Amino acid sequence: MAILPSLPKHLQGPSVWALYIIGFIPAAFAFYLGASGQLPGNPVKEFEHLLGIWALRFLIATLAITPLRDLVGVNWLRYRRALGLLAFYYVLMHFLTYMVLDQFLNVTTIIADIVKRPFITIGMAALVMLVPLALTSNAWSIRRLGQRWTKLHRLAYVITASGALHFAMSVKVVGPEQAIYLALVAVLLGWRAVRKPYLRWKRQAAPPAAPRRTVSDAS
Ligand code: HEM
């Protein structure tokens, strides 16, 4: 049974657009802080960090939609595409910040970094894998690709795991923040492994549906 009342139909579409707007607030705020000189320490690193961490949060939120529905009956499927696309835009902004503000578009250094620094290689791989998912996140691709769409979008698990690993490897010593993100991703991946048996068990444990009353029953 759903624990939250469902949104009236006329608000469902606008609520997705509201999510896009809300989703871009952290980026806009980080940009404002950067442009007005209010980012602490190294402003470029801080800006890069904010975009990277929000990318990871949106990736995790995207993967959390299915377990939320399975376990507590909250159906937020309509927000999954927006969350996934927000993750993609944040990774892209994080990457652009790295390329332009951090490396000043020095292609040689960027390529050397991607090849030689494992945490950047992993981050780059995650970005490359995100591109086909973002490009096929529309209704037309879902119809066209059928079952292949579902298979392709399972990459979201690999991407999120890569994102969390990239974060953990970007620091010298893994602290509580990195550990929390790694644990969250591990739980979501673990859920994927036990989901099918759990749903089978839930179907079997559910009481049989009550017979419907007909007009003749009432008379
Ligand atoms: C799914 C993809 C990605 C996610 C979720 C992600 C997320 C993050 C996060 C959370 C951090 C930690 C920031 C900090 O604590 O300072 C980080 C750091 C970093 N990321 Fe990414 N990232 C991704 C892809 C990339 C890509 C494609 C590049 C560049 C090729 C990149 C370059 C960097 C660099 C250079 C740092 C270290 C910044 C520093 O020196 O503090 N990331 N990333």
The secondary structure of 107-169 as a DSSP string is HHHHHHHHHH-HHHHHHHHHHHHHHHHHHT-SHHHHHHHTHHHHHHHTHHHHHHHHHHHHHHH
Q: Are 63 and 188 in contact (CB under 8 A)?
A: yes
Q: What is the C-alpha separation between 35 and 101, in angstroms, rounded?
A: 13
Whether 212 maps to a domain, the answer reads no
- Global pTM reads 0.92
Q: What percent of the chain has pLDDT over 90?
A: 85
Whether 150 maps to a domain, the answer reads yes
Q: How far is CA 50 from CA 44, 144, 157, in A?
A: 10, 36, 22
**In angstroms, how far is CA 135 from the centroid of its own chain?**
15
pLDDT value of residue 213: 63
Amino acid letter, residue 41:
G
Q: What percent of the chain has pLDDT over 70?
A: 94
Whether 56 maps to a domain, the answer reads yes
Whether 152 maps to a domain, the answer reads yes
Maximum separation of any 2 CA atoms in the chain, in Å: 84
Q: What is the C-alpha separation between 162 and 182, in angstroms, rounded?
A: 10
Whether 5 maps to a domain, the answer reads no
Name residues whose C-beta falls within 8 Å of residue 2's C-beta, 6 or more positions apart in sequence.
73, 74, 75
pLDDT band at residue 129 using 50, 70 and 90 as cut-offs? very high
pLDDT value of residue 219: 41
Whether 91 maps to a domain, the answer reads yes
pLDDT value of residue 218: 46
pLDDT value of residue 6: 78
Q: Whose CA is nearest to atom 42 of ligand 1?
A: 123
- Count of domains in the chain? 1
Could you read off the pLDDT of 147-181 as tens digits, one per residue? 999 999 999 999 999 999 999 999 999 999 999 99
Residues with CB under 6 A from ligand 1: 45, 48-49, 52-53, 55-56, 91, 94-95, 98, 114, 120, 123-124, 126-127, 159, 163, 166-167, 170
Could you read off the pLDDT of 179-201 as tens digits, one per residue? 999 999 999 999 999 999 999 99
pLDDT value of residue 9: 85
pLDDT band at residue 13 using 50, 70 and 90 as cut-offs? confident
Q: Are 90 and 53 in contact (CB under 8 A)?
A: no
Q: Whose CA is nearest to atom 43 of ligand 1?
A: 52
pLDDT band at residue 10 using 50, 70 and 90 as cut-offs? confident
Whether 215 maps to a domain, the answer reads no
74 CA to middle of ligand 1, Å?
A: 31
Whether 52 maps to a domain, the answer reads yes
pLDDT exceeds cutoff 80 at 217: no
Q: Are 56 and 181 in contact (CB under 8 A)?
A: yes
Question: Which range of residues forms the domain containing residue 58?
Answer: 14-198
pLDDT exceeds cutoff 60 at 1: no
Ligand 1 atom with least separation from CA of 177:
15
